[in-house]
Amino acid sequence: MTETGAPQDSPGSGLTLIHPRYLVAVRPQGVVLEEYSVAIEQGMIVSIMSRSESAQAYPQAESIELAEHVLLPGFINAHTHTPMTLLRGYADDMDLDVWLREHIWPAEQEFVGPAFVADGARLAIAEMFRAGTTCFNDMYFFPDVLGEVCREVGIRARIGVPLIETQNAWASDIDSYFEQGLKLHEDWRSEPLLNITFSPHAPYSVSDETLRRVAAYSQELDVPVHLHLLETKWDIKHSLQHHDVHPLVRLKNLDLLNSRLLAVHMTQLSAGDIDQLAQSGVHVIHCPQSNLKLASGICPLDSLLEAGVNVALGTDGAASNNDLDLLSEAQTAALLAKGISGNAQAVDAFQALEMMTINGAKALGLESLTGSIEVGKAADLCAIDLSCPETQPLYHVVSQVIYAASRRQVSDVWVSGRRVLDSGQLTTIDLKEVTGKASQWQSRLSGFGNRKNPA
């Protein structure tokens, strides 16, 4: 898969030294360094050494002091629908089917277009930057518009080419979806931060013929396939009724059960299913808060990890979560795994950190570029201030990050060396403008909801 760093003339091209109190590079596993520095040049990590050594090696470098902070790899949100941030809180406390069919899909049919996608994406990315996220994997309509926003604000993204057997404002039929998606793949070949996935919505909403085309293009172009899978019990019932086989059997028959598959949700898994996922190299994207809120089920995280399945974290969209906070998601994932398994050692703090960093990078085919702080990788970084009373006293850095820290403690974020959050302030997004547009959409959507459901 295509992996490139920052362009030579990127905003992060100068030599910079970052001096955190603590450094958790994720690789090697379990290591916490103190008083180490990271050197960045032309958007890439060029050196990691003790602070005293770095001062001698780079006497002319710009220095950034993070005296009470931990420096981590930027977080990777492996599944979301960023424009749906404009539907945050629009319909809550409902079953998934009612939520989708009676509220979300009608609102999308009425309002989704380039402006909705652009405004929702900017709001989502502002939230993600402020929570330490430097890369996300998206699935939504108008991926071309989303790509323009990502390029403008400077975030890394895998952007899904949506595929569903219905007409919408972006594509009139399946052939149009594929045509536009393949054009995006070609157009973004030289983009340092962008690439596509093929994103069929779900097995129940996409035909065998379409899924075969997805499998063929995925193999030919070495592009991941990103879809909702086994989200509810109904998914299995529907597949047995309409295809006479379990969804995993159907995908295997269609040549989709392989290491390019990003299977989102996966709450309905047997022990045999888990073994099959491990053998096939499928990546599972765990979205615990969305699954809990919609009462969809619980992904057997501990069993998946024990079997050797790569599991990454996603927030899902803000319409069903209702935030894009990976720190909170990681805490939920770890605690839920312990409670469900009855094992307090299940999914320890470092494993939870891996799920939202290196595991996400591996799932997206970006492991050699991001997901850990290593020489030769892009400088995708985030810093968390641990001096706050909520994270004091400090005995174990990674435990404190997962079990106590809040996204409000994220102070600084870099994407390919570009500082997109500076001491809590966004540098590439006008927050006042973004929230102002969100307020305008609120008025429009509230009016539509009142028309649909008059008092």
- In order of their start, the domains of the chain are 16-73+380-423 (2.30.40.10), 75-363 (3.20.20.140)
Instruction: Mark residue 281 as left, alpha or beta (left: phi above 0; alpha: psi -120 to 50; beta: remaining).
Output: left
- Nearest Cα to Cα of residue 195 among 12, 369, 374: 369
CB 404 within 8 A of CB 38: no
Q: What angle do CA 172, 177, 182 make, to 5 degrees?
A: 145
- Nearest Cα to Cα of residue 256 among 320, 194, 295, 212: 212
Beta carbons within 8 Å of 284's beta carbon, 6+ residues apart = 263, 266, 277, 299, 304, 309, 310, 311, 312
Tokens 């085919």 belong to which residue?
A: 365
CB 47 within 8 A of CB 64: no
CB 403 within 8 A of CB 331: yes
Cα–Cα distance measured from residue 123 to residue 21, given in angstroms and rounded to the nearest whole number: 31
Beta carbons within 8 Å of 157's beta carbon, 6+ residues apart = 135, 136, 137, 138, 146, 147, 150, 193, 194
Computed from CA positions of residues 384, 389, 391, 395, in that sequence, does the dihedral angle turn out positive or negative?
Answer: positive
Count of residues making up the chain: 455
pLDDT at 168: 84
CB 247 within 8 A of CB 287: no
What does DSSP say about strands 16-23 and 33-34: parallel, antiparallel, or unpaired? antiparallel
- What Cα–Cα distance (Å) separates residue 393 from each residue in 39, 70, 348, 404? 29, 14, 20, 11
CB 69 within 8 A of CB 21: yes
- Give DSSP secondary structure letters for 251-263: HHHTT--STTEEE
What is the 8-class DSSP label of residue 364? T
What would you measure as the largest C-alpha separation in the chain, in angstroms?
A: 71
Which residues does residue 40 pair with via DSSP β-bridges, in sequence order? 16, 45
What is the 8-class DSSP label of residue 101? I
Cα–Cα distance measured from residue 310 to residue 147, given in angstroms and rounded to the nearest whole number: 27
Tokens 């995993």 belong to which residue?
A: 248
Cα–Cα distance measured from residue 142 to residue 160, given in angstroms and rounded to the nearest whole number: 9
CB 220 within 8 A of CB 214: no
pLDDT at 453: 60
Residues of the chain predicted below pLDDT 70:
1-13, 450-455
Cα–Cα distance measured from residue 247 to residue 70, given in angstroms and rounded to the nearest whole number: 43
- Nearest Cα to Cα of residue 79 among 343, 262, 243, 233: 262
pLDDT at 451: 62
Retrieve residue 23's tokens: 């450094």
pLDDT digits (tens, 9 = 90+) for 395-437: 999 999 999 999 999 999 999 999 999 999 999 999 999 999 9
pLDDT at 97: 86
CB 346 within 8 A of CB 337: yes
